[in-house]
Structure 1
Amino acid sequence: MSDDKESKTEAASDKKISDAIAQGNIPFSREAPIFVSILGLLLFLVFLARDQGVPFLQRLALLLEQPRNFSLETSRDATHLVYALSLEMGRFLLPVLLILLVSGIAASIFQNAPRIVLDRIQPQWSRISPVSGWSRIFSVQGFIEFGKSLFKFLAIGSMSFMVLSADRHEIVNVMFMDPIGLPEFLLTLSVRLVSAVSVATIALVAGDLVWTRVRWQRDLRMSKQELKDEFKQMEGDPLVKAKMRSIAKDRLRKQMMAAVPRATMILANPTHYAIALRYDQSENDAPMVLAKGTDLIALRIREIAEKNRIEVVIDKALTRAMYDHVEINQTIPAEFYRAVANLLVYVMTRKRR
């Protein structure tokens, strides 16, 4: 296994990266949504908690100070009381839940675009297997997660201890404080604690974002053999491509030979090159190349032409000059019009005779 990892020294190709993303294998930091949620909670405490908390505390104080005003003679009365308390609690907590939800989703979207991957939610035995669980816990990644958790515990604990130590006299004096000022004191203390926690986790979140990207790219590394295999898969196996080219050439050769009997004349040099030309004013304005070939193919073109009594014209210079500039099933270039026209006049004159 170590040898396999050591052989993967090449950066992942674009195809492997796109395949990994399509399968849901994306770099994701779990600390980022937690950090953003803490920031959302801090915003709630600073801007909304006071406005939301005052009405809630007033209704709660009414229940505590005047309990006789609430009838609890039947179970229905108790149900109404619980419903009323739940409704007030929901009004107070709903903004908090919405802020935490939006913050977590925003942090996830910031890291990677959302996508639905069904393979990631399918049940797998390895997720509940004790053996797999122990192997994950005692793996390198497991120790890294333990280190992050320990760092969070120490950092948050230290910052919280510093904040509480600085306010220890005010905390002790709470028992002598007027109850009316207690909510404001608790709100101020909560803001300071959450702010301290946010500051303590900034370094962890930044490091975790970088680490997840680095680890993801490292896990996707490829060996040189894998790059070669992927290139073959994308571009096609050279042996297969050569076979396909051979088949295509054979098919083209058969089509050429089948078209030679329709030729008007054959240009030859005299055995190494051959070009079959057809000229019909009703079909094209210029002579059309039906077939061309060298050596054995040129001889085969001449054999078919002789069997079908097609004129073979020997012109070494013109044949060599035209061979590299003409394509099958296309008309000849304009620079060869005059020379070919003279030969066509000669061939047609011989046919009339």
Structure 2
Amino acid sequence: MAETPEGQQRTEPPTPKRLEEARLRGQVAKSADFTAAAALVGAAVLLAALSLPIARSLARLLEGYLRWGTTVQLNEESVWGLAWDFLYRLLLLILPPLALLLLLGVGAEVGQVGLRWAAKKFPQGLPLQTVFNPFVGLRRIFLSGRSAVELAKSLLKIVLLTGVAVHVLWSRVEELAQLGVIPIRQVAPLLREIALELTVKVAVVFLGLALADLFYQRYRYREDLRMTRQEVRDELKQTEGDPQLKSRLRSLLQQRLRRWMLQRVRQADVVVTNPTHVAVALQYTPGAMRAPVVVAKGADRIAEQIRHIACQAHVPIVENPPLAWSLYRSVEVDQEIPERLFAAVAEVLAYVYHVYNRAKAQRVLQGRQW
């Protein structure tokens, strides 16, 4: 368990406020190996899909230059022109795959931590020679408690990736030994096949290592941000001491709960209304529920929103003022209706099912007990 310099145990998980402050400092849970593995997987896919078209285009390009060299007098100016033209056409061939790999790497990086500017990434008030001093970074790497873990990870990657490469090449040693005697046209396809097999197997192993490292980095990130009980109490005092912040948090929570409740109206079987002041949405699944459940309810403006969503989702709306008021006053959201309302609700559901689903109506009308 991590300790503070004062010897206090960090036993509490980080609060949302502490996590947000860490993100503002640029302290996030990410794995450089995962980004590299994503790029390697992309390289394997591109090699499988584009290596033949690129090789054929390059062969035609070289063939054209060889023919051109037999018809043009070679001098310094023509050779330089040929070289620049070849470089330009070569870049046109390889830049699109490289751009795709770059986008894949950026996407893997952003996918881990999101896209956010770390306003406090660089320490305030420190000279640039301290911030960008490489010896400070090296000292932090080799003298930190994680150096043994990082060294073990590096050695494991070297051993596994080297083992995969040796295995692939050893399994093809007889074919590689024939490179000097087989026809020249068979050399390129053979090398492409070996390179593709090597890239795919290395990518698979490296991706597995990268996923393990990603989970480890997220675990270490949460552990590093753990708090003492005193830190949690101090943060709670600071948060609760701000009336505006408390009001804003309460408002955000109410809005989130209201949106969640209104989304569930689409799952309701019927909406019982006042018809204008109150609306209650009921859901009942025979066999899965003991009794109908209130999935949403509200008055005035919220009732209007419930009716509007019900119309959009084609949920039946039934006007029954006494039942609507009884449900609104006596049943909370996500609660089953009380037994005294079974009969009234059964009649409403039976009517709805009779109109929309006769088979379900028969099951309801067999008895008003759930």
TM-score range (shorter-chain normalised) is: 0.5 to 0.7
Give distance in 2, aligned partners of 1:91 and 1:42: 20
Q: Which residue of 2 aligns with 1:27?
A: 29
Task: Tell me if structure 2 keeps the 8 A contact 1:53–1:92.
Answer: no
Number of equivalent positions: 237
Deviation at 1:91, TM superposition (A): 2.2
Is 1:157 the equivalent of 2:162? yes
Q: Which residue of 2 aligns with 1:58?
A: 60
Give distance in 1, aligned partners of 2:45 and 2:72: 36
Is 1:138 the equivalent of 2:140? no
Task: Tell me if structure 2 keeps the 8 A contact 1:126–1:132.
Answer: no
Deviation at 1:71, TM superposition (A): 4.5
User: Secondary structure of the equivalent of 1:115?
Assistant: coil
Give distance in 2, aligned partners of 1:131 and 1:38: 31
Q: 1:71 to 1:103 in 2, by over 3 A?
A: farther
- Alignment counterpart, residue 222 of structure 1, candidates 205, 208, 227: 227
Q: 1:72 to 1:142 in 2, by over 3 A?
A: farther
Q: 1:70 to 1:141 in 2, by over 3 A?
A: farther
Give distance in 1, aligned partners of 2:69 and 2:62: 10
Q: 1:64 to 1:139 in 2, by over 3 A?
A: farther
Give ranges in structure 2 of 5+ residues lacking alignment.
243-370
Task: Tell me if structure 1 keeps the 8 A contact 2:34–2:207.
Answer: no
Task: Tell me if structure 1 keeps the 8 A contact 2:24–2:120.
Answer: no
Q: Deviations over 1:103-157 (max 9, x none)?
A: 1012112212111224436856144252552232232223322222211111111
Q: Which amino acid in structure 2 is aligned with residue 120 of structure 1?
A: K
Give distance in 1, aligned partners of 2:168 and 2:96: 26
Q: Which amino acid in structure 1 is aligned with residue 45 of structure 2?
A: L
Q: Which residue of 2 aligns with 1:179?
A: 184
Give distance in 1, aligned partners of 2:211 and 2:95: 30
Identity rate of aligned residues, in percent?
23
User: Secondary structure of the equivalent of 1:177?
Assistant: coil
Q: Which amino acid in structure 1 is aligned with residue 40 of structure 2?
A: I
Give distance in 1, aligned partners of 2:56 and 2:122: 43
Q: 1:131 to 1:24 in 2, by over 3 A?
A: closer
Q: Deviations over 1:171-220 (max 9, x none)?
A: 11011121122221111111100011012213311210111111110111
Q: Which amino acid in structure 2 is aligned with residue 208 of structure 1?
A: D
Q: 1:62 to 1:128 in 2, by over 3 A?
A: same
Calculate the TM-score normalised by the size of structure 2: 0.59
Q: 1:195 to 1:116 in 2, by over 3 A?
A: same
- Alignment counterpart, residue 9 of structure 1, candidates 11, 31, 39: 11
Greater Rg by CA: 1
User: Secondary structure of the equivalent of 2:121?
Assistant: helix
The aligned runs of 1:36-47 (5 Å cut-off) are 36-47=38-49
Give distance in 2, aligned partners of 1:124 and 1:199: 41
Q: Deviations over 1:8-61 (max 9, x none)?
A: 111111111122123321111111111111111111111111112211123235
Deviation at 1:163, TM superposition (A): 0.4
Give distance in 2, aligned partners of 1:65 and 1:178: 23
Q: Which residue of 1 aligns with 2:330?
A: none
Give ranges in structure 1 of 5+ residues lacking alignment.
238-353
Give distance in 2, aligned partners of 1:73 and 1:26: 58
Calculate the TM-score normalised by the size of structure 1: 0.61
Give distance in 2, aligned partners of 1:141 and 1:69: 65
Task: Tell me if structure 2 keeps the 8 A contact 1:127–1:133.
Answer: no
User: Secondary structure of the equivalent of 1:117?
Assistant: coil
Deviation at 1:99, TM superposition (A): 2.1
